[in-house]
Amino acid sequence: MMQEFAQQVEDTARSMIGEIHTALPGMVVSFDPRKGTAMVKPAGKYTTAEGERLEYPQIPEVPVVFPFSSSSNVGMVFPVKAGDGCLIVVSEVELDEWRSGAESSGNLKFDLTNAVCIPGLMRSGNGIVEQAISQNTVIVSAGNISMSISEAGIAIGGDLKV
């Protein structure tokens, strides 16, 4: 009897933990630069309480994170396109309240509807990453133009058009 009770408690706890989302790799499905939001698709599958493995749904209107200060209008932004890798981070609190300023009556802690998207997650390294590491430099690249910033100075390469 006690063992059955302990098993039921364990099953309930596992079921509840399965509903808590923290961070997932994903892909940008679409991006709306006017709103600063993306439709994202988490990678992988989740398991339902019944043990069924399902694809994660697409998540609409996910705020996209850029290193940018709105108050100073200073930062770095870059194109975000369908197919780009991203890290989907799920907020502990509802984002509706933060976005609108109106108090929320729901309790959607760690729910996929309260996600933010950090674009730039790569499945593997690439030549630019390897170059930055080997040369101990920061590289900003756009197509065939690049700018390297290191202790030696600033170097601009490619077909620069002024």
Nearest CA-CA partner of 42 in 29, 27, 54, 31? 27
- Mean pLDDT along residues 6-24: 68
Range with the lowest mean pLDDT among 7-21, 25-39, 99-113? 7-21
In the chain, count of helices (H) and strands (E)? Answer: 3, 12
Q: pTM of this prediction?
A: 0.76
Band (26; pLDDT cuts 50, 70, 90): very high
Give the confidence band of 11 by pLDDT, cuts at 50, 70, 90. low
